[in-house]
Amino acid sequence: MKVLQRCDNILERGQTEKESNMENTKPCSVCKQILLLQDFPNKSSTKSGKASACKPCNQAQKSARYRANLDKNREYQKAYYEANKSTIIARATKWAKDNPEKQYEHNRRWLLSQPGKANAYASNRRAKLKACEVFPISQRFLRKLYSSNCLYCGSHEQITADHVIPVELGGRHSEGNLVPACQSCNSSKGMNLLIIWKKKKGLA
């Protein structure tokens, strides 16, 4: 249904152009709609230089093939990555350096779509780097934490996980040392102990 809707959108967008330039159109082998050549993926082995299926249908076919062989594809990707790890990392690092805006947008979308995982990953990584004690954090605990209000100001916007005793000062990365805090309070508190931060803010 979604594929057909995307095909319909392409059809509607290019209707005027097709009417004035019919030689630059062809039917999709899947959805059967007459579309502009630009709406088909490139394929050098064909006479027209285009694939037989339009872009939405072509993508749907690829996705279906991937899902049908999910375990095999994952094993292949894992093996390929291990065999070419240094090259892949170097290429990704270079791309990120050459495309900072795109990399920023990619990171932003991931952070917005996975707030719990992103914060848990960042906290866990920072804790390990500081060589402090790291304990397992349950998903149930994280769900409750990220759905709570800020412990310091009561806000429910942009909730993050704050280490009451900062890991930089030897605090544990554990459920007993994590509390919900809005981004503003967490950033303001930084590496300070709670009592010192409150004094600086005039709250103690």
pLDDT tens per residue across span 110-136: 878 887 777 777 777 666 656 677 888
Q: Would residue 39 count as lying in a domain?
A: yes
DSSP state of 10: H
Q: Would residue 88 count as lying in a domain?
A: no
pLDDT band at 39 (very low <50, low <70, confident <90, very high): very high
Closest CA relative to residue 188, chosen from 170, 203, 177, 173: 203
Look up residue 163 and give its two tokens: 């280490």
Q: Which residues pair with 35 in a beta bridge?
A: 26
Q: For the whole model, what pTM was predicted?
A: 0.41
Q: Would residue 81 count as lying in a domain?
A: no
Residues 136 and 62 in one domain: no
Contacts of 32 (CB under 8 A, 6+ apart): none
Distance CA 51, CA 98 (A): 31
Residues 193 and 120 in one domain: yes
Residues 56 and 130 in one domain: no
CA distance readout (Å), 165 to 58, 151, 152, 169 = 53, 14, 14, 7
Structurally, how many domains does the chain consist of?
2
Distance CA 78, CA 94 (A): 21
Closest CA relative to residue 116, chosen from 83, 145, 96: 145
Q: What is the structure's pLDDT at 18?
A: 46
Residues 56 and 121 in one domain: no
Q: What is the per-residue pLDDT across 170-195, written as a single tens digit (0 to 9) for each?
A: 888 889 999 999 988 998 898 899 99
Containing structural domain, residue 52? 2-67
CATH number at residue 181: 1.10.30
Distance CA 120, CA 22 (A): 55
Q: 19-33, 151-165, 187-201: which has the minimum mean pLDDT?
A: 19-33
* Mean pLDDT of all residues in 25-42: 93
Residues 118 and 197 in one domain: yes
